């Protein structure tokens, strides 16, 4: 079991859940958000942020139950499920 600690200097900006990601989906970050904690649930997902949409077989794999911090242009990241039943939870922060 891993422990996740959110730095006290981060300001929470919002949350979103994506549940229909059978085709590439973009995030909808709230104003002022500069980084995101992204978690896959249900099934694995794939993501890319280089201007090319991921597919169910290409892109960076995020296994269900895992998460990662994304620090970059939140509008550029795209996500897709590897198989039906995936969801993505996103917590947004300013820092």
Domain ranges in the chain are 12-94
For the chain, what is the mean pLDDT?
Answer: 93
**Measured distance CA(71)–CA(58) in Å, rounded:** 21
Q: Which residue spans within 1-95 are E strands per DSSP? A: 11-18, 25-26, 35-41, 45-48, 60-62, 67-71, 78-81, 87-94
**Measured distance CA(13)–CA(82) in Å, rounded:** 28
Q: Taking 70 as the threshold, does the pLDDT of residue 51 lie above it?
A: yes
Compare 1 and 88 and report the one with higher pLDDT: 88
Q: What is the pLDDT of residue 9?
A: 86
Q: What is the pLDDT of residue 1?
A: 46
Q: For domain 12-94, say whether CATH 2.60.120.770 is its number.
A: yes
Q: What is the pLDDT of residue 62?
A: 98
Q: Taking 80 as the threshold, does the pLDDT of residue 39 lie above it?
A: yes
Q: pLDDT digits over 53-77, tens only?
A: 999 999 999 999 999 999 999 999 9
């Amino acid at each position: 079991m891993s422990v996740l600690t959110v730095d006290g200097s981060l300001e929470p900006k919002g949350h979103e859940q994506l549940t229909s990601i059978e085709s590439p989906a973009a995030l909808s970050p709230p104003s002022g958000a500069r980084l995101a904690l992204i978690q896959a649930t249900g099934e694995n997902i794939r993501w890319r942020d280089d201007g090319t949409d991921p597919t169910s077989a290409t892109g960076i794999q995020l296994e269900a139950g895992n998460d990662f911090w994304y620090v970059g242009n939140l509008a550029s990241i795209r996500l897709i499920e590897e198989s039906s039943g995936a969801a993505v939870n996103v917590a947004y922060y300013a820092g």
